[in-house]
Structure 1
Amino acid sequence: MEHNHNSKFELTKSVVMHVTQRTKSKKDKNGHRPPLDRPLLVIGDRVIEEVQSFKYLGIIINSQLQWKIQAQKAIEKATKFVLQYQRLTKITTGIRPSLMRTLYISTVLPKMTYGHDVWYTPPLKPAGSKKSKGSVSALRQMKRIQRIATTVISGGLRTTPNELVDAHSNLMPIDLALLKICHRATVRMLTLPKSHPLHRHIHVAQISNPKKPLL
């Protein structure tokens, strides 16, 4: 293909990632099941490096299709932005609350929820279970980030309940905002035309239930 298009592949920038959740049946000395033996990918005289995670279109995918690394990176970016955002609020020379709200919606929230409909699993507590399943840890950290922003916007005290500062900041609670993003993405996918390449796969996923959350 590179000869047909007169475009030589840059093999030094190429990596290979084997995507599977299967492991060996025999545990190692630490009690963990090691991954399956995987063949090397050799192109020409170069062995392509194998990686456990890879960033594609801004989303970090790992070899087991779990999204913990992506969630951590999203939280790190949002935390960095909200701390810088907090510095802009001064009693005498700071930005007005209405502009701070706009800044939060246009900068911090997109950084925190980019690719959210791919990697985020809304926490649910199955019947008879004591613990919720899904992106519980990520949701907890995103609540903390939004609380910093809403406290700044509303001028509330540190002891003010989250629901109150959200309401005074005219922002949805973060868990409802994340559900809204997931709902919007689901509606968009379910209304794809039959000619779309993803239509059949989405229909199959619609009528089947995953065995466990991916995060």
Structure 2
Amino acid sequence: MAFGFVDDTNLVVWGRSARENCYTLELAHGKCLAWAKRYGAEFAPEKYQLIHFSRKRGSSEDLKEKIVLEDITINPRSEIKVLGVLVDSRLRWGPQLANAVQKGEVAINALSRITSSIWGPSVRSSRLLYTAIVRPTMLYGSQVWGIRPNGGSLVKSLLGKLEKVQNKSLRRITGGYKRIPRAILEREAEILPLDLYIQAGIFRYGAITEHKPVTTEILRHINLMWDLFSRSYKRRATVTRKATAMEHNRHEARSKMEELNTTVRPRNLISQLQGSGIRNQDSRP
């Protein structure tokens, strides 16, 4: 399977071992070179990155398999960046969360240089800077990494690191004292708690991408992988595939929309969604 955006191309393969996957990737790369030669495109092998996804405990020699393309050797990494999101080999999102917190800290430090409780922009302008710059920078891609495998929200220990950044921002915006509860600051600044904001963004993303061709293609490959591995491990045909995290959230989003449709008149539906925080995470308040 291949996917990409503009000049960022990714090849994804799966198999019984990393060695088998590396061999498949080498064959796929040969097809890419043939396509590039035909259409006058060029690839940059020195920028290639390789990662093996596995949750096997302990180290494994198989997971150290590398790819050799002519005179270039590509060694596997523990994490890579895909369209701005850090993906680790165990798909736990730990590196991405650490990176998100770091970006949030940098952004709030920049905000602190131009605003204070006694000087600088007004509360309204400071809030706008947070919602338009700091929060989108910190939560970039949270529609993907903000979901647990079962479709639930981030665990409190991970979410708490992000909440600390928002807490600093709220105190900078409102001039609140350290002992004032975060919930009061969020209410006064009219800013949603991060768990609700992330969940609303996930619902919206799931709703607008549900009928996209790429979503259908992804689900087709997921079902194909399930069938292949079911036959390999001789699973019973009655064993059904578990829903993915995004499938869980799409189902939840549909339920919320149906609930809104039954309780809110159509002309007020958009305003109700906006009031609930279901909006583009990169949009202005």
Do they fold alike, i.e. is TM over 0.5? Answer: yes
- For residue 16 of structure 1, the aligned residue among 32, 36, 50 is 50
- RMSD over aligned Cα, in angstroms? 2.8
Question: Displacement of 1:100 after TM fit?
Answer: 0.2
Question: Does residue 146 of the first structure (1) align with residue 171 of the second (2)?
Answer: no
Question: Displacement of 1:161 after TM fit?
Answer: 0.8
**What do the CA deviations read for 1:172-197 (whole angstroms, capped 9, x no partner)?**
1222111111111222233x15xx14
Contact preservation (8 Å) 1:189, 1:202: no
2:142 — aligned with what? 116
Question: Displacement of 1:41 after TM fit?
Answer: 1.2
Which letter maps to 2:62? D
Could you tell me how far apart the structure 2 residues matched to 1:91 and 1:150 are? 11
1:186 — aligned with what? 206
Contact preservation (8 Å) 2:116, 2:172: no
- Over 3 Å counting, the alpha-carbon distance change for 1:197 and 1:91 in structure 2 is closer
- For residue 181 of structure 2, the aligned residue among 161, 172, 175 is 161
Question: Displacement of 1:92 after TM fit?
Answer: 5.0
Could you tell me how far apart the structure 1 residues matched to 2:147 and 2:112 are? 29
Could you tell me how far apart the structure 2 residues matched to 1:178 and 1:68 are? 17
Equivalent residue of 2:62, what SS?
Answer: coil
Contact preservation (8 Å) 1:122, 1:179: no
Equivalent residue of 2:39, what SS?
Answer: coil
- TM-score w.r.t. the length of structure 2 is 0.59
2:195 — aligned with what? 175
Equivalent residue of 2:101, what SS?
Answer: helix
- For residue 65 of structure 1, the aligned residue among 74, 91, 105 is 91
- For residue 198 of structure 1, the aligned residue among 212, 215, 218 is 215
Equivalent residue of 2:98, what SS?
Answer: helix
- TM-score w.r.t. the length of structure 1 is 0.77
- Over 3 Å counting, the alpha-carbon distance change for 1:87 and 1:115 in structure 2 is same
Question: Displacement of 1:59 after TM fit?
Answer: 0.6
1:27 — aligned with what? none
**What do the CA deviations read for 1:117-153 (whole angstroms, capped 9, x no partner)?**
11113699x9xxxxxx844333101111111111122
- For residue 34 of structure 1, the aligned residue among 52, 59, 79 is 59
Could you tell me how far apart the structure 2 residues matched to 1:122 and 1:179 are? 11
Moved beyond 6 Å, runs of 4+: none
- Aligned pairs, number: 191
Higher helix share: 2
Unaligned runs of 5+ in 1: 24-32, 127-132
- For residue 88 of structure 1, the aligned residue among 110, 114, 117 is 114
Contact preservation (8 Å) 1:123, 1:135: no
Unaligned runs of 5+ in 2: 1-33, 224-240, 246-285
Contact preservation (8 Å) 2:126, 2:173: yes
Question: Does residue 137 of the first structure (1) align with residue 162 of the second (2)?
Answer: no
